[in-house]
Structure 1
Amino acid sequence: MTNFKQKADLIWDIAGLLRGDYKRSDYGKVILPLTVLRRLDAVLAPTKEKVLAALPRVEKMSENAKDLYLNKIAGYNFHNRSRFDFAKIVADPNNVAMNLRNYINGFSSNAREIIEYFNFDDQIDRMDDPKSDLLYQVVKAFAEMPFDDVDSMQMGYIFEELIRKFAEQSNETAGEHFTPREVIELMVNLLFNSDREIFKEGIVKTLYDPACGTGGMLSIGENHIKRLNPDAKLELFGQEINPESYAICKSDTLIKGENPSNIKFGNTFTVDGLRDEKFDYMLSNPPFGVEWKKAAKTIKAEYENLGFAGRFGAGLPRINDGSLLFLQHMISKMKPEGSRIGIVFNGSPLFTGQAGSGESNIRRWIIENDWLEAIVALPDQLFYNTGIATYIWVLNNQKDAKCRGKIQLINATGSKDEALMEEGKRDFNRFWEKMPRSLGDKRKRIPTNDDERGINYITKLYGEFEEGEFVKIFPNDYFGYWRVTVERPLRDEAGNIVTDTKGRPKPDKELRDTENIPFLREDEEGNLVPQSIEEYFEREVLPHVPDAWIDESKTKIGYEINFDKYFYEFKPLRSLDAIRADILALEESSRELERQVLQ
């Protein structure tokens, strides 16, 4: 099966049976757990009879011993010891509910726990109405759906396509989206680009996603490592707050023979399920602009009581956007000997918050520790439920020598001139292409198999670490500034300066102003050189307001990354002659049209 969307559409068609009995927004409560169950059913089918035949031999064993023995026969880290499967359940139409429950209870405890997160038992009761025969019809439709031609990667696509459809029915916010697979592939490329250790025989590495969803990032990271080095092992870890997504992710780890206990359920901020773990690699696409009000008590307590001994010592962002909390959490899990992080943000974490704010202090902490290696600006309209601009941040606490003390910015937004692309001038857009048809708000995709554009080209720019049309490289200090308060003297009606008891001029609150003074400035030759507050003040302020002074007690340090400014290209206004020529051409066209109508 190569067309995952076709398979997802077939499953979505089954949801049509629920029409009238269920709201469209509730279809997922039935379809998702049954998709997981049918997937497990298909995986276990080849060894099902062998497991049943072995049951008499394990009667006197402990539960733990039974599980180990039967798992080995099943060929997976789980098994099902019920005599039922989907085919046998629908073969007895009068007892579908009872037999389906018997089948679910026949799973080993690790698989049964997964189904419990769907609260599917409530849906069995709801559909078990003899008048509608709904339960039988739905289970029968799934029993007839082939799943033996679906591998784990394709299954991931199917689940995310289904969840996307259900999310659209529920009118979920733009922050509730899934990461397109080409974006994950790009992130994985960047993450593993400079690690030579992964080519060692028998190397074992770890990959973690604190908002793992259905496990897409983990799966693609694992596949990437296997392509690079079949002898390498990548152990996967994750945590997910949504019970349905958690169950799907965990079922995938079971099927692939990985350790399902590495996938934790719950809010990463309030209960860190992997508190004592450190990881080699981390990937995440946390929800954009989602508030952390519900977890505020726990987060603030950790910040105030533990400081840098906890996860959030650098500061707390605004309550309505927890993006930088996710990043701090991931940084706390970096290994001292070297870890790499790839995370997707919208534009807000780049510049929101003035000097001294939580966001600015977090950026300052990251940059002054020299952890931020690169930021890649992606095209808009890449995600299913939002068209906003997005950025990949790459962090590394053991940078290569050439990257130390610097941050690489890659502008992969591409040309927005549709006419140029329609004329086939591909060189004007090396980064994205229009999709044949939109998927929600997703109208663009990043090419995956073209060395001259898309993922391979962006990865090449990143690896070369050289300035060019799409790449800027700045020293860390370039993003720092002082926010100073400029005062001017208060004057009386006669124009005389009003002083305090010590003879110092009193400031005029009405004339008070602030200035952001960059740490670095360009000299006459265009080189970046350090500057002081005093130097800037004497050059830029005093010539205009010679009686001004700086209130040093109010000076704060800030950091921001104004990405668009660094790649801004001035476009000169069109000449009057060109405009006049266009107007004359339009007038002539109008006259010609008028002549044709009147003939």
Structure 2
Amino acid sequence: MARGRKAGSDGARKSAKAQPSIQATLWAAADKLRGNMDAAEYKHVALGLIFLKYISDRFEERKTQALADPEEAILADERDLYIGDNVFWVPESARWDYLKANATSEKPTIGALIDQAMLDLEAENSSLKGVLTKNYARPELDQVKLGGVINLFSNLTFKDAHHGQDVLGRVYEYFLGQFAIAEGKRGGQFYTAGCVVRLLVEMLQPFKGRVYDPCCGSGGMFVQSERFVEAHNGQRNDVSIFGQESNPTTWRLAKMNLAIRGIEANLGPKWADTFHEDLHPGLKADFVLANPPFNDSGWSSEVVRTGSRWVYGVPPASNANFAWVQHFIHHLAPHGTAGFVLANGSLSSQQSGEGDIRRKIIEADLVDCIVSLPGQLFFTTQIPVCLWFLSRDKSNGLVRDVKLRDRRGETLFIDARSLGSMETRTLKVLTEADIGRVAETYHAWRETGGRYADEAGFCASVRTESIAAKGFVLTPGRYVGTAAAEEDDEGFAERMGRLTAELRGQVEEGARLDAHIRAALAGVGYGW
């Protein structure tokens, strides 16, 4: 078993236990304050203010520490003191106490003050340039309600052992999730369910090297996993993060989401479409983590469909699934691994040359593991999805201080469709136990210290020849079989006798209850 896995699970459990109270309270109040504003617009109002509150709290905390130290006290108003400790320099016009003091003035100007605060922050901190929302003074945003939001968020203090990042991370993540629900299908463009991210991270363990997400949304692959944050904070220089996002507002969300976690990332100098303008053309990543748009039909152009990325075949213009797969492969280092979400159709489609592309990828021995997921894990779609894991090198070796088995010519299939618990009427989540079961199965199969065995109905290790015999289809259900039925030693006669006796007892109990009801009705003058 790889070192550190248990600690991460414990951290995730602590996070889950700590989650709903303060976040849900803030959301309920803030959502009421937004009135008739569309969730997609209000998202940037609320999340921008949360970001502003955090960096102001962090600044004030560092200033208090400086003033308490005689040697640092003379530097308390020096910008370099804060920048050197990875704390944003916050000018007076952007400090929360100043905004709170002006939030409920008789002549509401709070929106203009917030816009100016955002401009001043960007001017003082180059990494925030072009990132922050600056339209709080627009007429359609009720200034009185905006002042109410300022007062509401003033009750939250981002201070704890991790400089407020744990508290802030949970609040920010909760708000992102709630906005994803409120926005419906559009919300899926920036948000991936946390349990899916945790499963990907538990299996890949991307804690050392270059991590890449070419469709990063709001940065969830980098920050939603408590383990990833802990590992990154513990050994900051061990991890380099690269990402790209085509939607300008979502790109800004990602920049803020990473900044509040103290995670340095290269998301490119701007937002850009990955296929048309790859901002990291020479990158060879140790890990790729991604949740690309499902079955995207608007990805292509004649220019894009030429080039060095399509080694295994030109993807069809009607579906980007295998464009994404080949883009991931293109950016993998010689020993790199990738884990990503795709629609189930990618496992078996034969349309428009997709079957041929999949066959060539399998024949190149790149497919490490396929996991079928249960339905209803996403806010925005009921399309059945799966996880793909690709590896440039499936031979034995040493990765992350863990010795690996030689799995060349083999692929692990895991059917996890029966896992998960309903969190709401329409949303299912993978529990920590579910995530642990799938991840441990994978690591037991991949690592020399693990005790792996095929389990009917759940997992199977399959040779490439057997996959070829099934037409290069990668649907796990075709390989894992069905779970063995429980043995039943009860004979037919005994069973019928038992069931008949149970039925007789139920009929007698029904007659007794009918008599009781008739008697009760007769007692109030309604007998028959």
Q: Describe the SS at the equivalent of 2:24.
A: helix
The equivalent of 1:535 in structure 2 is none
Deviations 1:170-221 (A, max 9, x none): 232695574444433332232249xxxx7xxxxx611111122332322337
Indicate the residue corresponding to 1:434 in structure 2. Answer: 421
Asked whether the 8 Å contact 1:225–1:232 carries over to 2, the reply is no
Q: Residue 521 of structure 2 aligns with which residue?
A: none
Which of 150, 161, 183 is the matching residue for 2:196?
183
> Tell me, what secondary structure is at the counterpart of 1:393?
strand
- How far does the alpha carbon of each residue in 1:551-586 deviate from its partner, in whole angstroms, 9 at most, with x for none? xxxxxxx63223212233388999986679757854
**What SS class does the counterpart of residue 408 from structure 1 fall into?**
strand
Match of 1:346 in 2: 343
Partners of 1:54 and 1:165 lie apart in 2 by 41
Larger deviation: 158-167 or 587-596? 587-596
Task: Work out the CA distance in 1 between the residues paired with 2:362 and 2:222.
Answer: 27
Which ranges in structure 1 are unaligned for 5 or more consecutive residues?
58-68, 199-203, 415-431, 481-517, 520-557
> Taking structure 1 as reference, are residues 406 and 238 closer, same or farther at Cα in structure 2, changes over 3 Å only?
same
Structure 1 107/338 Cα, relative in aligned 2: closer, same or farther at 3 Å? same
What whole-Å deviation, never above 9, does each CA across 1:475-534 have from its counterpart, x for those lacking one? 223223xxxxxxxxxxxxxxxxxxxxxxxxxxxxxxxxxxxxx37xxxxxxxxxxxxxxx
Mapped pair 1:100 → 2:86: no
Q: Distance in 2 between matches of 1:173 and 1:101?
A: 26
Match of residue 472 from structure 2: 559
**SS of the counterpart of 1:124?**
coil
Counterpart-to-counterpart distance in 2, 1:479 and 1:273: 36
The Cα of 1:349 is off from its aligned counterpart by 0.9
Q: Which position in structure 2 is the counterpart of 1:248?
A: 253
Out of 507, 510, 519, the residue aligned to residue 593 of structure 1 is 510
Asked if structure 1 preserves the Cα contact closer than 8 Å seen for 2:118 and 2:134, the reply is no
Could you state the TM-score of these two structures normalised by the residue count of structure 1?
Answer: 0.67
Partner of 1:447: 433
Structure 1 residues 250 and 153: CA distance shift in structure 2, 3 A:
farther
Counterpart pick for 2:462 among 470, 474, 479: 474
1:76 maps to which of 76, 79, 86: 86
Could you tell me which residue of structure 1 aligns to residue 145 of structure 2? Answer: 134
Q: Indicate if the aligned counterparts of 2:420 and 2:434 stay in contact, CA closer than 8 A.
A: no
CA distance, structure 1, for counterparts of residue 222 and residue 29 of structure 2:
29
Which one-letter code corresponds to 2:26 in the other structure? I
Shift of 1:256: 4.9
Identify which of structures 1 and 2 has the higher relative contact order when contacts are C-alpha pairs closer than 8 Å and 6+ apart: 2
| Structure 2 equivalent of residue 267 of structure 1 | 273
Question: Separation in 1 of the partners of 2:81 and 2:515?
Answer: 85
Alignment of 1:130-209 (within 5 A): 133-149=144-160, 151-172=164-185, 176=189, 178-192=191-205, 205-209=209-213
Larger-Rg structure: 1
> For the aligned residues, what is the CA RMSD?
4.0
Aligned position for 1:279: 285
* CA distance in structure 1 between the aligned counterparts of 2:384 and 2:58, rounded to whole angstroms: 40
Deviations 1:233-273 (A, max 9, x none): 11111112344443233224434554444456232222212
What displacement does 1:146 show?
Answer: 1.8
Matched residue SS, 1:310: coil
SS of corresponding position for 2:30: helix
SS, match of residue 424 in structure 2: strand
- Identity of counterpart residues, as a percentage? 22
Unaligned runs of 5+ in 2: 1-13, 67-71, 397-405, 517-528
Mapped partners of 2:263, 2:179: distance in 1 = 28
Name 2:525's counterpart in structure 1. none
Give, in whole Å, the separation in 2 of the partners of 1:9 and 1:313: 47
The structure 2 residue matched to 1:323, chosen from 279, 298, 321, is 321
Looking at structure 1, the residues matched to 99 and 460 of structure 2 have their Cα atoms a distance apart, in angstroms, of 62
Match of 1:407 among 404, 411, 421: 411
CA offset at residue 456 of structure 1?
A: 3.8
Query: Is this contact kept in 1: 2:180–2:379, CA < 8 A?
Result: no
Query: What are the Cα deviations for residues 96-120 of structure 1, in whole angstroms up to 9, with x where unaligned?
Result: 23432332122144857758456x3
Letter in 2 for 1:45: E
How many pairs are equivalent? Answer: 469
The residue that corresponds to 1:525 in the other structure is: none
Q: If the length of structure 2 is used for normalisation, what is the TM-score?
A: 0.75
